[in-house]
Amino acid sequence: MNRIDAKFAALKKKGEAALIPFVTAGDPDMATSLKILHALEEGGADAIELGVPFSDPMADGATIQRASERALKGGATLPRVLEMVRKFRRQSSVPLILFGYYNPIFRYGLRRFVRDAAAVGVDGVLCVDLPPEESGELARHAAKAGLDLIFLLAPTSDGERIRLVARKGRGFIYYVSVTGVTGARQQLEGHLQSQVERIRRYSRLPVGVGFGISRPEHAARIASFADAAVVGSALIAELEKTARNADKPKRAAAFIRRLKRAMRQVAKPSHQRAG
């Protein structure tokens, strides 16, 4: 059982959902970014999605686009991101998922990428623009290296696509709550619970919900029926509120702590949770 599977199993026993924050590696710089990762764990993150900065992040809204731009200007590269993970692993065992786009991975070399990612302590990979139909080569290398390849589903996903992701995915299924790009929203869509229940009819993998979660009450609502809440744009926007890099880790920990506290308030014994 890898770190992702173990974390979801442990949370299920406690009747809790996972809180999975997303941050862009290298934003605002590599040293501060590493401190933010530790702060997220301190604040209560159950797993972390670490974004690999990319020059054309087509799935991301303005907030994460700005984070990628800052990271790239600061010299963030895929090798430097992997080195940061290596340093993080010296003091942490929290599950860590690399979240990014196919081009940097392809340029790095698929076999080399999964080998190096596994060696530094990455647990899973979510490649936003790699559809499951075209994931065979990366999936084979990832399986050999022990990395979970995680896929997205959206409100437009039909039964055939859900079955495909259920068959090919590992770790958990990431359900995108809206049709569109990332970004904090004032309200969550009304269909979320029914969509998560629909996905569960096809798969026993945990289901996480992301895109648009920005407040403690949002995270609590997701935790009441899903297995994980993924929070990205709202966290990065929170970090942007302070200009001093030295203050960003503390602010990150406080934000995550508020979300996790709200999620724990809706925790249920494992025999009462769906899935």
Which are the catalytic amino acids? Answer: 49, 60
- 188, 190, 266, 253: which is closest to 227 by C-alpha? 266
Sign, CA torsion 237/243/245/250:
negative
**Which of 138, 146, 236, 128 has the alpha carbon at shortest distance from 184?**
236
Query: For the purposes of burial, counting CB atoms within 10 Å of the CB of 64, is it exposed (0-12), middle (13-18) or buried (19 or more)?
Result: buried
Nearest partner of 275 among 199, 183, 167, judged by Cα: 199
Q: What is the C-alpha to C-alpha distance for residues 12 and 218, in angstroms, rounded to an integer?
A: 20
CA–CA gap between residue 263 and residue 259 (Å, rounded):
6
